[in-house]
Amino acid sequence: MQDLLDSALARIAAAQTADDLEAVRVEVLGRKGVLAQLSKDMGKLTADERVARGKFINAAKQALESAYDAKKSAFDHDALAIRLDSEWMDLTVPAPGVPPGSLHPITQIQWEIEDLFRSMGFTVLDGPEVETEFHNFDALNIPADHPARDMQDTFWLDGGHLLRTHTSPVQVRGMEKLGPPLRMIAPGRVFRNESVDASHEHTFYQLEGMMIDRNVSVGNLIYFMKTLLTAIFKKEVTVRLRPGYFPFVEPGFELDIRCLICGGPGCPVCKQSGWVELLPCGLVNPHVLRKSGIDPAEWNGFAFGLGLTRLVMMRYAIDDIRWLQSGDLRFLRQF
């Protein structure tokens, strides 16, 4: 046993690296090491032998742990010295300062669209995110018993208020306050009580637009929509116009854009269809005009609702909507 102790102490003293030192510790002091084995065998000894071995084991353990700690401290000191030399920095050099921030990609695209429509004579309006039931539904030809309410999963609040499910209430407030003729857009945040996945969020951004004047036609609508998409995507894009039902427009249309992520074969963003529903639109329903105090016999117009968040995904080829509100700076720095 003394030979084992002397050998272990010599190996500790001769260890060249921390790994060599750890190997000696495990072999001698570990749970299955030499000293542990000597302790297990004590049951086979006489009383006097157990006393002698117990004293030896305790003394050997103290000697080995002391030698191990001293050697480990020396290795730690050397490692720290190397690290300090390699990571040295001049603390007298002035700090670089606070790095500049940047605009969120949704804000960038929103400002582009605002500039485009301002150049065509439109004004930019804003409205509250906590809305009344009248402005969010009733004034848009969606009364309490209308099945269209089931199409929008709403966050209801106390006192008949709600988190707006679209930015269309701003159109109502614009007609009430400004009256015709009217050209306006309304970008903003909206809320739906939906399950979150690659193409759906409970909080996202839309942009509504409206033109009220005399003799407005579907041709006017198509012109402005083509102008918008060409400006945003900086190229001609493939679109399709199909009939769609929206209580506040008649006739109503769905304007879809061919998916710019997959190009058409299908992906999670377009739900494997090759198309992304981007822009519901149509001519303003006469009932909506009457609700806002406008005579539909004299005035008419078009309205559209743009999925601003989805438009940003198409513009930058983002394949998961959850990135946009993740707060991940690695993602945002790309823009």
| Cα end-to-end span (Å), the chain | 70
Distance CA 133, CA 165 (A): 11
CA pair distance 49, 203, nearest whole angstrom: 78
Axis-axis angle for helices 47-86, 18-29 (nearest 10) = 160
Tell me what pLDDT residue 148 has. 65
**∠ at Cα 227 (224, 229), nearest 5°?**
110
Ranges under pLDDT 50 in the chain = none
* CATH 3.30.930.10, applies to 105-332: yes
Entry pTM: 0.63
pLDDT tens for 80-89 read: 888 888 888 8
Distance CA 246, CA 139 (A): 13
Q: What is the pLDDT of residues 111-150, one digit of tens each?
A: 999 999 999 999 999 999 999 988 988 888 887 877 666 6
Q: What's the rounded Cα separation, in Å, for the pair 255 and 224?
A: 13
List Cβ neighbours of 296 (8 Å cut-off, separation of 6 or more).
286, 289, 290
CA-based nearest residue to 261, from 220, 315, 334: 315
Number of alpha carbons in the 13 Å side-chain half-sphere of residue 133? 12
Instruction: Please state the three-class secondary structure of the chain as a single string.
Output: CHHHHHHHHHHHHHCCCHHHHHHHHHHHHCCCCHHHHHHHHHHHCCHHHHHHHHHHHHHHHHHHHHHHHHHHHHHHHHHHHHHHHHCCCCCCCCCCCCCCCCCCHHHHHHHHHHHHHHHCCCEECCCCCEEEHHHHCHHHCCCCCCHHHHHCCCCECHHHEEECCCCHHHHHHHHHHHCCCEEEEEEEEEECCCCCECCECCEEEEEEEEEEECCCCHHHHHHHHHHHHHHHHCCCCCEEEEECCCCCEEEEEEEEEECCCCCCCCCCCCCCCCEEEEEEEEEECHHHHHHCCCCCCCCEEEEEEEEHHHHHHHHHCCCCHHHHHCCCHHHHCCC
- Cβ atoms of 212 and 205 within 8 Å: the answer is no
Proportion of the chain above pLDDT 90, given as a percent: 26
- Please tell me the predicted confidence (pLDDT) of residue 245: 85
